Amino acid sequence: MSEEAQREFLDARSMLCPMPVIRTGERVAELAPGTVLEVRASDPGVLHDIPAWSRVHGHTVLEAREEGEELVVVLQVHGDDDGGA
Q: Is residue 2 part of a domain?
A: no
> What residues in the chain have per-residue pLDDT under 50?
1-2
Which pLDDT belongs to residue 31?
A: 97
Q: Are 24 and 50 in contact (CB under 8 A)?
A: yes
Task: Tell me the whole-structure pTM to 2 decimals.
Answer: 0.88
Question: 83 lies in a domain?
Answer: no
Return the pLDDT at 3: 56
Active-site residue, 17 included: yes
> What is the count of structural domains for the chain?
1
Containing domain of residue 28, as a range?
7-76
Closest alpha carbon to 82 in 26, 21, 38, 33: 26
Q: What is the reported pLDDT for 2?
A: 46
Identify whether 82 is part of a domain: no
Residue 61 lies in a domain: yes
Tell me how far apart the alpha carbons of residues 74 and 50 are, in angstroms, rounded to a whole number.
9
85: in domain: no
The backbone region for 79, taken as left when phi is positive above 0, alpha when psi lies in -120 to 50, beta otherwise, is left
**Does residue 14 lie within any of the structural domains?**
yes
Given a contact cutoff of 8 angstroms between Cβ atoms, the answer to whether 74 and 18 are in contact is no
In this structure, what CATH number is given to the domain that contains residue 41? 3.30.110.40
Out of 17, 32, 52, 56, pick the active-site residue: 17
Those residues whose C-beta lies under 8 Å from the C-beta of residue 78, and which sit 6 or more positions away, are 33, 34, 58, 59, 60
81 is a domain residue: no
pLDDT of residue 79: 80
